[in-house]
Amino acid sequence: MNALTTRLLAKELHQHGALMTAATAAGLAALPLALTGGAGFHVAFVVWLTAVIALGVMLAMFGVSNERKERARLFVLSLPLSPLDYVRIKLLGLVACFVLPWVVLSAGAVALVVALPGLADGLLPYTVLLCAYLLLNYALVLSAALHIASEAGMGGVIILTNMSVSLFLAGVGRLPGIGEHMGAAAPVWTATFWLLLAAELAATLLALCLPLFFAARRRDAL
């Protein structure tokens, strides 16, 4: 990794540092509300979930779409980088901007399930799958932002991916090997869990590789 690459990656982290901090703080601050149980738990979950999803959407929009509007290509052309190099750095930087808060917030959610007396530890596999799905959700939004220049098109992607989270929440808990163990006193790591987790991670990797595949065949960076 040369000095220019390091500086561009640092630029991404610096540029989105306030957003990363705000999302992490909001998500973590909401978790103690779950300790009150009842409505407090549901409020905490909604705030935590919103913080993760909103972070991903805003990183994709500010980190890619706004740069496209501001004609970042003129800046890119002045750098000793190919379009593929720039997309690779942009992708790596924005993934880092999301993954750092995501790891903290995911760890907070897992710790809450373990620590909260009113929650069965059987929810841990479901929680892990949800956190992995939120990472996949961001990968899809980021990949779309790197391919779609239309604001209407990106708006459609954001709506569809946000809807998919609700479908995930409703559907995964009904799957054999997941739903029947959610109330267990200890987590049950079934074959269904490992298959779903592997599918989520594979889909995430594929979504993040697509921008590199297409960038290698394009002349412009964004």
What percentage of the chain exceeds 90 in pLDDT? 53
How far apart (Å, rounded) are the C-alpha atoms in residues 104 and 100?
7
pLDDT number for residue 164: 94
pLDDT number for residue 104: 97
Give the other-Cβ count within 10 Å of 66's Cβ.
11
For residue 217 the two structure tokens come to: 């065949």
Asked whether residue 222 is assigned to any structural domain, the reply reads no
**pLDDT tens for residues 168-205?**
998 998 888 898 888 888 999 999 999 999 999 999 99
Cα Rg, the chain, nearest whole Å: 19
**pLDDT tens for residues 60-87?**
988 887 766 665 555 665 666 677 777 8
Give the other-Cβ count within 10 Å of 115's Cβ.
11
Asked whether residue 19 is assigned to any structural domain, the reply reads yes
How far apart (Å, rounded) are the C-alpha atoms in residues 130 and 38?
21
Total domains in the chain come to 1
Asked whether residue 36 is assigned to any structural domain, the reply reads yes
The answer to whether residue 100 scores a pLDDT higher than 70 is: yes
pLDDT number for residue 75: 62
For residue 158 the two structure tokens come to: 């954001």
In terms of residue numbers, what domain contains 128?
3-215
Asked whether residue 221 is assigned to any structural domain, the reply reads no
**pLDDT tens for residues 144-164?**
988 887 888 888 999 999 999
Asked whether residue 220 is assigned to any structural domain, the reply reads no
Asked whether residue 61 is assigned to any structural domain, the reply reads yes
How far apart (Å, rounded) are the C-alpha atoms in residues 98 and 141?
12
